[in-house]
Amino acid sequence: MVKHTFQVLFFSLALAGTVATSSLAAAESPSETQATQVSSPAEGQISINEATAEELAAAMNGIGLKKAQSIVSYREQYGPFTAIDQLKEVPGIGSALVERNSVRLKL
């Protein structure tokens, strides 16, 4: 009887560990997928030389319509960007914003 009780207890604990591990893996899967999507430079890149302010605001993290319009105005005034880092010259756009969005951008 005692042996059977331990077997049932052991089986229950093993089953609970499997369920917990499966739940943990399922919870981590979306973040792994997001990381893959964000780091894939070919997919979803937007041209800072051709995009409208609305397209830039939608594609860039931390950029609203006002800052996107500043990017377009700067581009119209000074010509096309020759490097992604040149965005730092736009008022209101700092190094952190450029770094955060570098995988989303192309010339």
Per-residue pLDDT of the chain (107 residues; tens, 9 = 90+): 656 655 655 555 565 554 444 444 444 444 443 433 333 444 679 999 999 999 999 999 999 999 999 999 999 999 999 999 999 999 999 999 999 999 999 99
CA distances from 87 to 42, 63, 67, 78, 83 (A): 20, 12, 11, 12, 8
pTM of the model: 0.59
> What confidence score (pLDDT) does residue 4 get?
60
Are 32 and 70 in contact by the 8 Å Cβ rule? The answer is no
Query: Quick one: pLDDT at residue 44?
Result: 79
Token pair recorded at residue 85: 């880092």
90 C-beta neighbours (distance < 10 Å), count = 21
pLDDT reported for residue 32: 41
Residue 43's pLDDT is what? 60
pLDDT of residue 14: 60
